[in-house]
Structure 1
Amino acid sequence: MINKIIKIIKNKIKVSKSYSKYILLNNFEFLFKKIFEEMFEIYLSFNKYIIIKNCYNRYFLIKEICDLIYHLTIFIIYNNISYLEIEKEFIRRTNITGFEEKIFR
């Protein structure tokens, strides 16, 4: 699924007036700002969803999660990181706990 998302975004980058291309051509600070903005929007949506668990609030939470994944993917493309590298790191972590992993950073 991740590879499919990357393919969709890379195809959008080829379009002359795409938002994805605009983000990649802007400076690094703009992209970071968008990632933090999306994280905050997830926080707000999650708080609404916790208070009232309905389809409407769930839908907005999913939309914000999608926005964050999109911007993180742009970040990954911007830094020329492959999902294979990320996958290898996840595999490396499967045999250790989160507590152990943090000790070795």
Structure 2
Amino acid sequence: MIKKIIKIIKKKILESKSYSIFILKNNFDFLIKKIFEEFNEIVISLKKYILYKNCYNRYFLIKEICDLLYHIILFIIYNNFSYIEIEKEFFRRTKISGKKEKKNR
């Protein structure tokens, strides 16, 4: 899934006036700010969803999750991480418990 999303975003980057290219051209501070902003919006949407549990709030929570994932993927592209590196780390973590993995950091 990560590979497919990265491919889609990299394809969009080819458009000269895209939002993605705006961020990837020396706007690292803006990208970090957007990641924190999107995370904050997830927290707000999650609280509303927990409180009201309706499809309207669920929809906005999903939108905010997508926004955060998009910006994290831009972060991955900006830093030239490969999806293979990320997948390897996910697979490595499936072999040990979360507590043990955290302790080993």
Aligned-partner SS, 2:96 = coil
TM-score (norm 1): 0.96
- Are 1:103 and 2:103 matched, yes or no? yes
Partner of 1:85: 85
Which letter maps to 1:90? Answer: F
CA distance in 2, matches of 1:72, 1:21: 14
Partner of 2:47: 47
Unaligned runs of 5+ in 2: none
Partner of 1:38: 38
Partner of 2:13: 13
TM-superposed deviation, 1:26: 3.2
Aligned-partner SS, 1:17 = coil
Unaligned runs of 5+ in 1: none
TM-score (norm 2): 0.96
Structure 1 stretches (4+) deviating beyond 6 angstroms?
none
Matched residue count: 105
CA distance in 2, matches of 1:94, 1:7: 25
